[in-house]
Amino acid sequence: MERVIFNEDHHAFRASAKEYCDRSLVPRMEQFLEEKTVDRAAWLEAGKQGFLGLDVPEEYGGSSVGDYRFNAVFAEEVSKVSASLSSCFGIHFDCCAPYIVDLGTEEQKQRWLPKFCSGEYVAAIAMTEPSGGSDLAALKTSAKKADGGWVVNGSKTFITNGDMADLVIVAARTDPAKGAKGITLFVIEEGMEGFARGRKLDKVGQAESGTSELFFEDVFVGADNVLGEVDRGFIHMMERLAQERVGAAVSNIAQATQILAETIDYVKQRKAFGQPVGSFQYNKFLVAELVTKAEVTQAYVDNAIVAHDEDRLSAVDAAKVKWWSAHVQNEILDACVQLHGGYGYMNEYRVARAWRDARVTKIWAGSNEIMKELIGRDLGL
């Protein structure tokens, strides 16, 4: 079915995003996979083309388009190339930008955002801890008051862009007695004494995303690197999780739809018993079901995109669209692997990589189980 949420400006922007992907990302995928990171050249080119500052005001180097649909378009085009790359860029321009733009002081914005938009700085957000998972209120990384700032100790894990981030938004406990109301956000920068990166984590999929452990040992963070209000970090995070989750949904269905289209081409050409694999009734019915599920889910995600753009997407609705899109994405990709037969299990085939890359979407940005818990609570259960 035709999607109706985009206008001519969005279509023109999509063409530019696709051109960037085709020129700067697609030819280098093997390099990114081998190095387990997206190198600076790709970031700088994205910055040069204006893709990293969509939520950033013009005075700080961005374009301040004020229309979330542009964010969605860029995320979709990158997701068609690789879910892993979409997570890298998404964390930077779609997740971290609102924190700095909404919560940063004028001095912080002037200091960080121009290089954030140009790709000279790469950003990450560090919430998850080795013992915490989805329970953000239980984090153990601490920040204690010191002359002129704070001293941060602790560790974070599963941090996308962690291997190369110049700016890391870190959630730390500043008042243990207050529980969730005693958490503060800090921006820890490359080169701060005591800030160290661990190994690049050996993941099942998404090798390119530079996912790393981060360690903080007596890191002095000046008061001018506190982001937002002291002890209101948990609230700041909750207020911005809706964008992270709708962004995840956008990428989920875009990746699944792209691989499904490639699979349909494959089953039209691949023959067994003298006829195309796709012509067998079971496979034909299966593909019909997958296409319908993809289109229904796309319509649901599109509705969430518009709702978020109009500032009416609730946290519960964001949870719904996040878990459902991840569920359908994994269902579609598992079927696509099956339709490829033995070749679907070969790393040289995109469907195999996509299948691996997608599995984490039911875990990150709040696990699907946590999403259902939020929805259930909202229903009074």
Catalytic residue positions? 244
Please give the single-letter amino acid code of residue 147.
Answer: D
**Chain-centre distance for alpha carbon 86:** 6
144 with 108: CB under 8 angstroms? no
For residue 346, how many other CB atoms are within 10 A of its CB? 11
Cα-flanking dihedrals φ and ψ of residue 196, to 5°? -135, 150
SS3 for the chain is CCCCCCCHHHHHHHHHHHHHHHHHHHHHHHHHHHHCCCCHHHHHHHHHCCCCCCCCCHHHCCCCCCCHHHHHHHHHHHHHHCHHHHHHHHHHHHHHHHHHHHHCCHHHHHHHHHHHHHCCCCEEEECCCCCCCCCHHHCCCEEEEECCEEEEEEEEEEECCCCCCCEEEEEEECCHHHHHHHEEEEEEECCCCCEEEEEECCCCCCHHHCCEEEEEEEEEEEHHHEECCCCCHHHHHHHHHHHHHHHHHHHHHHHHHHHHHHHHHHHHHCEECCEEHHHCHHHHHHHHHHHHHHHHHHHHHHHHHHHHHCCCCCHHHHHHHHHHHHHHHHHHHHHHHHHHHHHHHCCCCHHHHHHHHHHHHHCCCCCHHHHHHHHHHHCCC
